[in-house]
Amino acid sequence: MMRWLQLGFQDGMSLFMMELIEFHDYIMLVLTGILVLVGCAFISLGSTKHSGREVLDSQVVEGVWTIVPGVILIFLALPSLHLLYLSDEMFSPSLTVKAIGHQWYWSYEYSDLTAFMFDSYMVGEENLVSGDYRLLEVDNRLVLPYGVESRILVTGADVIHAWTVPSMGVKVDAVPGRLNQLGLVLFGPGVFYGQCSEICGANHSFMPIVLESVNWEDFIVWVRG
């Protein structure tokens, strides 16, 4: 039972992820309605003894099965475009962080803080403590304050990587020589895990991402410490 419960989305902890989950539920509702309608039509056609062999065409039927799918696509496209623009919208970020993908670790630079940067390596199995996650723990976590908008600039230093945190609903390619950006508004405190999701070499699966969300006061203490 627990295996089936793990097939869904992780709990959304950002505005964009919450919107993404709602859009997914909306699409599934539409698809369920379509499947029920088509299934009922198949059952009806298979169980009836009446057939219209003399009917060669029906303008009404052709009009209905052309217009109805078009209307359904419009109702799917509008919220999809809303999410697309929401993912690119940047209002007034309070903090900017640059994430740089290397083979095979991440570096983080806090652009608003002078000379504040660090590398984030995966913790080996021999150094794990009770409660740590194998292949997901790092020695230095990315720390962000919740309740404010943060901007993440993502790039690569050697090959293409991908900065991905499922709980945030973000997956951004880290391309050498190019900056991609995303905005995050975290809902509350917590620790969230991700991994590079671009095949970047032999140790691709050993460059995890750990994002820790804290309040603004604790963030200032962490920066000063």
Domain ranges across the chain: 9-46+59-88, 95-125+135-224
pLDDT score recorded for residue 15? 80
pLDDT score recorded for residue 51? 67
Query: What distance in Å separates the CA atoms of residue 163 and residue 224, rounded to the nearest whole number?
Result: 26
Spatial neighbors of 21 by CB under 8 A, at least 6 apart, are 9, 12
pLDDT, tens only, 181-206: 888 888 889 999 999 999 998 999 89
Tell me if the pTM is above 0.95. no
Alpha helices per DSSP H over the chain: 2-5, 15-47, 59-88, 216-224
Which of the residues in the chain have pLDDT under 70?
A: 1-8, 51-56, 114
Q: Does the domain spanning 95-125+135-224 belong to CATH 2.60.40.420?
A: yes
